[in-house]
């Protein structure tokens, strides 16, 4: 099992080297090629999927989800009857198998909502740990949009909304998991334990970046687009911790646990008649919480 998969119940140092991205390619198509109805603005840049036929006027069809058909799809008996955490761990283990080709199964979308406006923000993050309480990520919670949405802002533009969601999508398995719950900060000691596993450059980067702050270009350098300001902050952090191997975790940086109230397991099926099962937490006065498990219509 890969290192990223082992991190569910223990942390370990892993360096991820992203592959360089090719320049984006934008194709333009006529309305006849791309849609069955006229485009209001003259032409669509993208209408997916494009026609697969030799006749460009024939629209394409979205691919079918067929991997679960031969085994009868997803059934209630396939799922853990008591715990979505246990069930997630099983599906995550499946996603970690080399033959799936899923390079980073811990990748997920974190969504938060700003109050009182209700404006929603989403971003891709790595789930670093899973424990009996919930799903853990690490990030900047001082200046980031996540911090504004979850904990409020000094200027009063957001009052703080602890509700958040995670979405995992494992296309080769035609599986999706949706998590909804309340966010809570990990203790400094827990965050330090993970922080110590990061490479030195990443630890210095956490100290250096005022996440989501505007980087202003150097007016004396016409080629600078603001990156020079970030490089300056990094140099300041390097000087601050020069010769020190034990770097403390910043107060504004650390772990966030999404404690689930609702977890949905989605298995793709033919003709968009997908299998969906949802766990809902039932709070017990003076006792351990229980989970209900129901099938949802696709």
Most distant CA pair in the chain: distance in Å? 67
Out of 76, 272, 276, 295, pick the active-site residue. 272
Q: Is 272 a catalytic residue?
A: yes
What does residue 290 show for φ and ψ, rounded to 5 degrees?
A: -115, 165
- Is 183 strand, coil or helix? strand
Closest CA to 73 of 292, 265, 293: 265
* Cα gap 292→115, rounded to integer Å: 30
Closest CA to 183 of 88, 276, 257, 251: 257
DSSP letters, 112-170, are EE-TTT--EEEEEEE--EEETTEEEEEEE-SSSHHHHHHH--TTSS-----EEEEEEEE
Tokens found for residue 3: 């290192």
- Collect all residues with Cβ–Cβ distance below 8 Å to 187 and sequence separation of at least 6: none
Output the CA–CA distances (angstroms, integers) from residue 23 to 20, 26, 48, in the order listed. 9, 10, 20
Report the catalytic residues.
272
């Amino acid at each position: 099992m890969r290192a990223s998969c082992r991190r569910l119940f223990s942390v370990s140092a892993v360096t991820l080297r992203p592959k360089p991205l090719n320049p984006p390619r934008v194709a333009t198509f006529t309305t006849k090629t791309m849609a069955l109805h006229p485009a209001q603005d003259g032409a669509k840049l993208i209408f997916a999927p494009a026609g697969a036929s030799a006749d460009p006027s024939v629209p394409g069809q979205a691919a079918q989800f067929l991997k679960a058909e031969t085994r009868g799809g997803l059934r209630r008996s396939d799922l853990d009857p008591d715990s979505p955490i246990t069930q997630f761990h099983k599906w995550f283990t499946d996603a970690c198998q080399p033959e799936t080709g899923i390079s980073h199964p811990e990748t997920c979308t974190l969504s938060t909502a700003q109050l009182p406006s209700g404006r929603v923000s989403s971003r891709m993050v790595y789930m670093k740990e899973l424990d009996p309480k919930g799903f853990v990520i690490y990030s900047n919670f001082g200046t980031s949009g996540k911090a504004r949405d979850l904990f409020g802002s000094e200027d009063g533009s957001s009052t703080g909304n602890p509700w958040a969601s995670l979405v995992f999508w494992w296309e080769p398995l035609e599986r999706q998991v949706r998590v909804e719950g309340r966010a809570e900060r990990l203790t400094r000691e827990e965050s330090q334990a993970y922080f110590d596993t990061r490479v030195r450059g990443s630890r210095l980067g956490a100290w250096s970046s005022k996440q989501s702050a505007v980087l202003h270009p150097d007016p004396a350098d016409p080629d600078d687009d603001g990156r020079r300001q970030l490089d300056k902050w990094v140099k300041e952090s390097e000087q601050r911790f020069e010769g020190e191997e034990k770097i403390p975790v910043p107060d504004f940086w650390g772990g966030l646990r999404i404690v689930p109230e609702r977890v949905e397991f989605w298995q793709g099926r033919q003709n968009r008649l997908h299998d969906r099962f949802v766990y809902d937490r039932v709070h017990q006065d003076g006792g351990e919480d229980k989970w209900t498990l129901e099938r949802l219509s696709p």
